Amino acid sequence: MSEETLSSRDERRAARIAKNIRGFAASHGGSADAVVEYVGGIATRIALVGADGAWGDQVARSYPVAERAVELAGATRHESFEGELGLKVRTGSYEWKRMAGIQL
């Protein structure tokens, strides 16, 4: 995590998000990998991949809050969604239909 000190409010936000990440991990094989992605001025996305290949995400108000949430949750953090992590993701028919757009 960065050297930035979080306010008590942001620590509470990070703790709530960490609880959700731990719940996701528990429901999907017992562990989770995470990628923290800056989305814009008011949001940072935490992309999650469970041990079983299921994926999900959480949104934090800031990059430091997202970093802290991943740290508190004990998730394995990756710098990008490439390589082995990307190959680990399991997609279903819903995702394939959505990716195909109007073609299906």
Q: What pLDDT is attached to residue 94?
A: 72
Q: What pLDDT is attached to residue 103?
A: 54
pLDDT tens digits for range 4-39: 689 999 999 999 999 999 999 999 999 999 999 999
CA distance 97 to 104: 6
For residue 103, the tally of other CB atoms under 10 A from its CB is 6
CA distance 78 to 19: 19
Q: Is the pTM of this model over 0.85?
A: no
